[in-house]
Amino acid sequence: MTKYNHQTKILIAADCIIFGFDGRQLKLLLVQRALEPEAGKWSLVGGFVQPEESLGQAASRVLHKLTGLSDVYLEELSTFSEPTRDPVERTVSVAYFALIDINKYKQQITTDYHAEWFDLNKFPKLIFDHQEMVEKAKARLRYKAAFHPILFELLPAKFTLPQLQSLYEEVYNIEMDKRNFSRKILSMHLLEKLDEKDKENSKKGAWFYKLNKKKYKANFHSVATIIPNPDIYYS
């Protein structure tokens, strides 16, 4: 069959912006780049798209290789395609952002990477346009989480309302009223109260909740205004 002759072929990479939450702060998982150039510099984890895989599969593969995790929340953010963004050779990158439970991340023994969690407000200079990717991912996370219940993805299977509230407060850098917060969250009917308390963070202990996965999936696209004045966050 005819080929598309005289057209330029380009390297394509998938890069992942991986978010985590340690109970206090939002974190970003970065790796020390193995390839030249810039070997040893901090970067997002990424890899070239292989002949037999789609971009989403490439992102999943890269994420799995680093963290050992599958079934992770992974969303296409956007493409980065300035011709000179990679000084070695033209590479178009498709950025994905991932939300993972930070406790689940176990560095693979046979990893090629040195990986580390950094505070999202203070992380090292990154290679190429990775800084811009992180900024865009942060904006997207804020935008999306203002309407969709995706922040659960950053918490363990069992979590408390105060933990969840801290997460929202951290993501949006605001303080929220716990009475209004719990009413709003519980009115979505996505959470089930367990008869177990978290005694680590207070004497009285806070009830654990878990996601009702069925309802979560069914209502995943539902829109709720979780955050006051979501105007501020855009995408």
Partner DNA sequence: TCAAAAGTGTTTAAAGTACACCCATGA
Partner DNA sequence: TCATGGGTGTACTTTAAACACTTTTGA
Q: Which residues are at the interface with a copy of itself (CB under 8 A)?
A: 1-4, 7-12, 35-37, 48-56, 76, 78-79, 81-83, 87-92, 94, 146-147, 220-223, 230-231, 234-235
Residue 138 phi/psi, 5-degree rounding, is -60, -45
- Residue 140 beta carbon to DNA: minimum distance, rounded to whole angstroms: 22
Nearest-approach distance from CB 199 to DNA, in angstroms: 6
Between strands 115-119 and 26-32, the pairing is antiparallel
Q: How far is the CB of 172 from a copy of itself (least distance, A)?
A: 14
Quickly tell me which residue has 């992942």 as its tokens: 16
Q: Contacting DNA (CB under 7 A), which of 3, 9, 122, 204? A: 204
Is 206 near DNA (CB under 7 A)? yes
200 binds DNA (CB under 7 A): no
Closest CA to 188 of 155, 221, 228: 221
55 vs 115 by CB, closer to a copy of itself? 55
Q: Which does 173 bind (CB under 5 to 8 A by kind): a copy of itself, DNA, none?
A: none
Tokens of 184: 């709003």
Q: Does 79 bind DNA (CB under 7 A)?
A: no
Within 10 A of 168 (CB to CB), how many other CB atoms are there?
A: 18
Give the contact letters, 157-196, x = binds to DNA (CB under 7 A), - = no.
Answer: ---xxx--------------xxxx-xxx------------
**Among 219, 86, 81, 53, which residue's Cα sits nearest to residue 147?**
219
**Residue 82 interacting entry, from DNA, a copy of itself, none, C-beta within 5 to 8 Å by type:** a copy of itself
Could you tell me which residues are beta bridge partners of residue 79?
94
- 159 alpha carbon, distance to own chain's centre: 18
Task: Check: CB of residue 147 under 8 Å from CB of residue 230.
Answer: yes
